[in-house]
Structure 1
Amino acid sequence: MSEILLDTDDLGEAEAVLAAQFARIRLSASAGAATRFRITQSGTGPLAFQELDYGADFRYEAEPMANLMFCVPHSGGFDQRLPGVAPVYAGPGAVVALGAHQGVPFSGDVHAGRFSQLVLDAKALDETASTSFARSARPVRLTGLRPIDDDANRYFTHVIDYVRDVSDRVLNGNNPVLAGEIRRHVAAAVLATFPNTARIDAGVADRRDGTPQHLRRAIAFVDDNAARDISLADIAAAASVTPRALQYLFRRHRDVTPLEYLRRVRLHHAHVELASADPAVVTVGEIALRWGFGHAGRFAAFHREAYGESPIRTLRAGT
């Protein structure tokens, strides 16, 4: 049976409950704005499933967490900001890991909506990696906040749905053996779908090869650093291949160059920002420049090709 962890319209009460569950957190909303927070949970300890229902937009600033959280919006969305890393946005259907960079505080904005979330003890990754990958004395850490590709994202949303469906029957203490199996299944799914140090350690021997694993590292690096000034050489270094090998990988498996992929990622971020911005406060040109598009005409052409409308129309539609 799931329990109600939080059901309030008071920011202070929400902060206190979330701090007790995860880590110290500060919430803020626009002055006078109505707020509503409701969280239900099945399971405790190393694995729990939560349903979140937020009735208003708000901003959060969180201290480092001991656990990992994997959140997928059904409506609304959120972004996550880490020091020195480009913001990572999750809209409906997109899974993002929270607390992945252990020891590092994070912040962001939440847009009103419904969300599903798995809470996993980070030690579960070490236990699973010891049987699935080459042994390492180092604790396993995620190296990216998103799944490695769209197929991995779809797979992990199915994992979340499965845990939701069995959570009331399995995660509340009635069957500890089955609960342990499900926890290990979730941990294995995390290691298979998110970039992590266990995958890198296991792949040390094949760093000279042009394998998809290197492509995944490159994609994760671009996704997490698109707001920074990064070059082809930076991406190649992150993937542990030469720039020429990186060009080959992207051409073979994505039919684009690495820099074309970087442009697509930046265009996506610019589109998301346009859709949520206030045209009375910001211009298309400012957003384009922020994401590395110095030529307004080319930016408009790229945006129209990808999203079927001009950037100014996207900006105005958000009001």
Structure 2
Amino acid sequence: METLRFDSGSLEETEAFLSEAYTPMRIGGSPEDSRARITRRAAGGLVSDRLEFGYTMAYDAGCLHRICLVTVHEGSFADTTGGGERHFGPGETFLLAPPDRPYRGEVRGARYTITMFDPALLAEAAGTGGGFRGPVRFTGQRALDPAAERRLGSAVAHVRDHVLAAPGEEVPPLVVATAARHLAAVVLTALPGTVLDDRPVPVDGRDAGSGTLRRAMAFVEENAHRDIGLADIAAAVPVTPRAVQYAFARHAGTTPLAHLRRVRLARAHEELRAADPGTTTVAAVAARWGFSHPGRFAAEHRREYGTAPARTLREDAR
């Protein structure tokens, strides 16, 4: 995992750092007695930054080319992109700007978190949820309602406090990939937007038959240890992502990604049964199979196998 720290009272140094870390920008302010402090933790294209500005910093920035979510802890933001002011305060998580548009505004004595990921994950999440094609276009910065705001804040906190929490430690690739895909799915449902070219992909009934399901399941079984998603499963069959979804729904009563998660849970269970409890931990096994939250992994394991994973490690490994 990449860890980077910045601490300066110089506007010139801060502008240079922000332009390198995000996108070319110009900033202004009067930080005579205050400093800008930034800590970055990043892995596999997923970025979590903690920032603190003790003064009002104006910014005029170019396109980010990434999905950038801001969670305000103290102080406030004023977004002035396109005229007018939109204010964001403590407790709010919002979209800083669409990835393909410049943005401007002010950070007003704020302490906040920035979380970023590749916009391509949104198109994949859109296909996973509804079988649509084309990029996603957001029509607003705030979540749709309080429940959506809570989901969005929780997903960001998971990345910040669990996935990218430990400085300098290597994060298993499956943990990063799973967290990024989950965050993208939450963003897609929490923020107002539309999928361009949102015509449903037609599905031939033959493409969604039991043969498709068998080939898809075989691919998942052989590749569960890799960072794969719906598009990869569909390409391996090969049929459209929508056909894979229909095949799982009709013949297995589940979804492709739910099946993938169950296979990974089974692999983790097998590894726990065979591992030496003196040299292996439940958290390490869970992380290797993409489960970044030990409590959730334990709950899923208990539902599926009727026992806690720690007990499986201690007793079945004898």
Query: TM-score range with shorter-chain normalisation?
Result: 0.5 to 0.7
Aligned with 1:154: secondary structure? Answer: helix
Tell me the CA shift for residue 147 of structure 1.
0.5
Kept in 1: contact 2:45–2:117 (CA 8 A): yes
Aligned with 2:165: secondary structure? Answer: helix
Indicate yes or no: 2:12 matched with 1:12.
yes
Indicate yes or no: 2:176 matched with 1:179.
yes
Amino acid paired to 2:10: D
Tell me the CA shift for residue 62 of structure 1.
0.6
**Counterpart in 2 of 1:50?**
49
**Counterpart in 2 of 1:158?**
154
Tell me the CA shift for residue 2 of structure 1.
6.8
**Counterpart in 1 of 2:33?**
34
TM-score scaled by structure 2? 0.57
Cα 1:199/1:78, change in 2 over 3 Å: same
The 5 Å alignment of 1:137-286 reads 138-166=134-162, 167-169=164-166, 173-198=170-195, 201=198
TM-score scaled by structure 1? 0.57
Summarize deviations over 1:124-180 as a string: whole Å, max 9, x none: 1112212112321x2112221111112211221111221112113599643001110
Kept in 2: contact 1:11–1:35 (CA 8 A): no
**Counterpart in 2 of 1:3?**
3
Two-structure CA RMSD over aligned residues (Å):
2.5
Summarize deviations over 1:190-216 as a string: whole Å, max 9, x none: 01100121399489xxxxxxxxxxxxx
Q: Distance in 1 between matches of 2:137 and 2:27?
A: 27
Q: Distance in 2 between matches of 1:97 and 1:56?
A: 22
Q: Distance in 2 between matches of 1:67 and 1:171?
A: 24
Identity of aligned residues (%): 29
The 5 Å alignment of 1:61-100 reads 61-83=60-82, 86-100=84-98
**Counterpart in 1 of 2:107?**
110
Aligned with 1:66: secondary structure? Answer: coil
Kept in 1: contact 2:52–2:111 (CA 8 A): yes
Q: Distance in 1 between matches of 2:28 and 2:186?
A: 34
Q: After TM superposition, which residue ranges in structure 1, 4 or more long, deviate above 2 angstroms?
A: 1-5, 32-35, 168-174, 198-203
Cα 1:151/1:29, change in 2 over 3 Å: same
Aligned with 1:23: secondary structure? Answer: coil
Q: Rg bigger for which structure?
A: 2
Summarize deviations over 1:97-139 as a string: whole Å, max 9, x none: 1121x43221111111211221111111112212112321x21
Tell me the CA shift for residue 74 of structure 1.
0.8
Cα 1:202/1:168, change in 2 over 3 Å: farther
Summarize deviations over 1:32-78 as a string: whole Å, max 9, x none: 74341111111145211111111111111111111121111111011
Q: Distance in 2 between matches of 1:202 and 1:178?
A: 32
Aligned with 1:74: secondary structure? Answer: strand
Unpaired runs of at least 5, structure 1: 204-319
Amino acid paired to 1:24: P
Q: Distance in 2 between matches of 1:161 and 1:23?
A: 24
Amino acid paired to 1:64: C
Indicate yes or no: 2:129 matched with 1:132.
yes
Q: Distance in 1 between matches of 2:74 and 2:139?
A: 27
